[in-house]
A and B are shown apart, each in its own frame.
Chain A
Amino acid sequence: MDVDVKINGDKESLADGTTIEDILKARDVRPEMVAVEVNGELIQKGEYPSRILIKGDQMDFLFYMAGGRLV
């Protein structure tokens, strides 16, 4: 059964049991490059493989914004 969620504001239907890690992998996004929130709660990276999205969840992810003249 599909699960209706929102990812970065867009509606999506996911297969039951889809994890945060699955979603990032499907988008070729390396977990270490992004921060993830589900329903406004920042998710620890260690939870990405086990956190399953459920109906109505809103997941947002974004790439870190960083840099500087270090090198």
Chain B
Amino acid sequence: MDETFKLKRSQADTMIDQALEGDPREICGMIGGNGAVASKIFPTANIDESDITYQMDPKEQFAVMRTLREEKLELIGIYHSHPETDASPSMTDIKLAFYPDAYYLIISLKKKDDPVIRAFKIVDGNVSETGLEVRAD
């Protein structure tokens, strides 16, 4: 099975721009699509307004889930930024990963002029990095 997560350049840029605008705070959002192919990025607010944690507003989550249902899309990804650290899941990320079917994307701004995005599956506390393919629009 192809475990490579696929998104368009403009979608990756949406997440990176959100991360840079939110810096030094962590930002977050949801990704709709089918299988491992992203169709739509949903930036959401980080109600923690924190440099080291994120939490989405449940009301916003519900609204996105309704939109996904209406548009016949699935929740395929959850993303957030690490403004100062690597694009690797922290213990907090792993502990709070409740969506085993979703890809977890992390945007690292450790090098502000060279953001890095990596994708992971997190299932029952086990982390595996997947491929990430950024396609031209």
Contact residues on A (Cβ < 8 Å of other chain), bracket: 10 to 19
B54 at the interface (CB under 8 A from A): yes
- Chain B residues in 8 Å Cβ range of A65: 28, 30, 55-56, 61, 78, 96, 98-99
Interface residues of B in 73-97 (CB under 8 A from A): 78, 80, 82, 84-85, 89-93, 95-97
- Chain B residues in 8 Å Cβ range of A33: 98
- Which of B1-9, B13-21, B45-53, B129-137 forms part of the interface with chain A? B45-53
- Among B82, B85, B92, B98: residue with most chain A CB under 10 A: B98
Partner-B contacts on A (CB < 8 A): 9, 33, 35, 37, 40, 42, 60, 62-71
